[in-house]
Amino acid sequence: MNRTKKSELIKSIHSTFKCADVLVITHHAHLTVKEIEDLRAKIRAVGGCYKVVKNRLARLALLDTRYANLRHLLTGPTSLTISKNPIPAIKVIVEFANKNEKITIIGGGLGEQVLDTNEIYVLSTTPSIEESRNNITSVLRNVPRKIVTIIGAPASKITRVLRFHSISDS
């Protein structure tokens, strides 16, 4: 690859890092082309991207981004999961790593925060924004019904008491 192409690649990756809300760095060993394509498709489906880039180029691309402090993690056969939507991308890469011993999560970053492997695994169990919205919506849908039930409960008790007294008086 000539200098011009390297420079263009670095600029492209740099702009991807600038826009990303999450970066997960993994080590991969002997992944087949099919496995990489499957992983890329899954990450792309949640709005992210999976890149295998030479460490030297990735280190240069990380300069002047909020992930510059992750440069030390770029050693060995590394790959990068980058996304604007953090939780779904983290879930995909963690699920893949759990099922495939050829990939190991090294660390990453969420915004300005550096994440270690354990923190990434914890985030993978966090509900996504969509899941949280759905949970809140279902709770809010049930509130009016519960209010009506609570408000109606004393009246029904009074009715039962009055009905009991009218029956016992007869």
The number of domains in the chain is 2
Q: Which carries the bigger pLDDT value, residue 163 or residue 169?
A: 163
What is the tens place of the pLDDT at every residue in 66-99? 999 999 999 999 999 999 989 999 999 999 999 9
Contacts of residue 52, defined as CB under 8 A and 6 or more positions apart, other chains included, come to 28, 36, 78, 79, 80
Structural domain span for residue 138: 128-170
Percent of the chain at pLDDT above 70?
85
Which of 106, 97, 87, 102 minimizes the C-alpha distance to 25? 106
Q: What CATH number does residue 70 fall under?
A: 3.30.70.1730
Specify whether 95 is located in the same domain as 161: no
What is the tens place of the pLDDT at every residue in 27-79? 998 889 999 999 999 999 999 999 998 999 999 999 999 999 999 999 999 99
Specify whether 38 is located in the same domain as 109: yes
Dump strand ranges (E) for the chain.
22-28, 48-51, 78-83, 103-110, 113-115
